[in-house]
Every structure is written in C-alpha cells, then in structure tokens.
Amino acid sequence: MDTIKVTQIIDKWQSDPDYAVEMMQDIQQEFRHIPRSALEEITRRTKTPLARLYHIATFYKAFSLTPRGKYVIQVCTGSACHVKGAGTVLETLQKELKLEAGETTSDRLFTLEKVPCLGFCSMAPVIMIGSDLIGEVKATEIPALINKYREADHD
C-alpha cells in the first residue's frame, strides 16, 4: 500500500473525523479495497475508533477489506435469472477464471460475485462486468467476454 497516497487522502479531508467515510471512499477508489493499515492511519489521524471504521467498512457493500479486481463481475442469481440458466453462466465463469464466487483472480483483474438481483429480469440471465450490463448472456459466450476485458486491459 502506498502510505503517501493514504496520507494525501486524509490531508485532503483535513483529518476531520466527520469525513472518515469520504476518506474510506477515496482509499477504496485508489486501491480497490481498504487496507487495514489505511484504516489504522485514519484512526490515528482522526481519532475515530478503529471498531467504528470496521463497522462502516463491513456494513456498506461498496467497501471491501480484501483486494478486488479491476472488473467486478456480478452474476444475478434471482428467480428469473436462475430459471434461465444463471447457474450455468456462474459455473462457466468460475471455470474460465479459475476461482469461486467471492474471489479475485491473482492478477487482480477480475472479482466474481453472486448477487440476488440486478433488476433486469426481462433480460435474464444478466451479468454486469464493471458498469457494463450484459443481458440474455449464454454460457458459451463467457470465454469471448472474458478475453475482451483481458485484451482491453492490455491496450
């Protein structure tokens, strides 16, 4: 973790404890997770109890205490998506990425998540890769989709 960057983020918010959440948001954006050492530095500089910061970090889904990939892949497992093959899509993603839901690839390019609903039932099954919504996805399309994002990362 870049301690200089964490210090700059805390300084940006003038070490004001009222802005601890904003500091955490900036750190999350910078590092794609909130390292423990960053929480400890926020605690030290703002006098906000570490337990409170952990409560915030574990309560809000936008925060992660473990490293996340550049592309978070969310697989809808709601009723409509389940009926239309979301289980097969998820299994194919797990095989293609060589990981389980909730894990991140070793190159930190992808994080795979199961979500209860993405709200696009009419397009089931649905996945999101980053901010890209992909409806009526078929398991056979998964390798090409993953390669597209891998190639985009190398451009």
Q: Cα dist. 96→1, 86, 143, 146 in Å? A: 29, 15, 7, 8
User: Does residue 76 share a domain with residue 149?
Assistant: yes
Beta partners for 132?
129
In a domain, 77, yes or no: yes
Give the tokens for residue 126.
């649905």
pLDDT in tens, 21-46: 999 999 999 999 999 999 999 999 99
User: Does residue 91 share a domain with residue 145?
Assistant: yes
Give the tokens for residue 97.
């990425």
User: Does residue 93 share a domain with residue 48?
Assistant: no
User: Does residue 92 share a domain with residue 54?
Assistant: no
In a domain, 147, yes or no: yes
Output the furthest CA–CA distance in the chain (Å, rounded).
Answer: 52
pLDDT in tens, 80-138: 999 999 999 999 999 999 999 999 999 999 999 999 999 999 999 999 999 999 999 99
In a domain, 29, yes or no: yes
Read out DSSP for 130-153? TTEEE-S--GGGHHHHHHHHHHHH
Instruction: Tell me the mean pLDDT in the region 65-77.
Output: 94
With beta carbons less than 8 A apart as the criterion, state whether 113 and 76 touch. Answer: no
Q: pTM surpassing 0.75?
A: yes
Residue corresponding to tokens 């451009």: 155
User: Does residue 38 share a domain with residue 10?
Assistant: yes
User: Does residue 121 share a domain with residue 86?
Assistant: yes
Q: Which residue did the predictor score with more confidence, 147 or 155?
A: 147
In a domain, 65, yes or no: no
User: Does residue 147 share a domain with residue 97?
Assistant: yes
Phi-psi region of 74 (alpha: psi -120 to 50; beta: other; left: phi over 0): beta
Confidence of residue 2 (pLDDT cuts 50, 70, 90): confident
Strand ranges for the chain from DSSP E: 71-76, 110-115, 127-129, 132-134
User: Does residue 54 share a domain with residue 120?
Assistant: no
pLDDT in tens, 44-70: 999 999 999 999 999 988 899 998 999
User: Does residue 138 share a domain with residue 89?
Assistant: yes
User: Does residue 107 share a domain with residue 78?
Assistant: yes
Is 102 exposed, middle or buried, given 0-12, 13-18 or 19+ CB atoms closer than 10 A?
A: exposed
In the chain, how many domains are there? 2
- Map residue 73 onto helix, strand or coil: strand
Domain hosting 144: range is 71-153
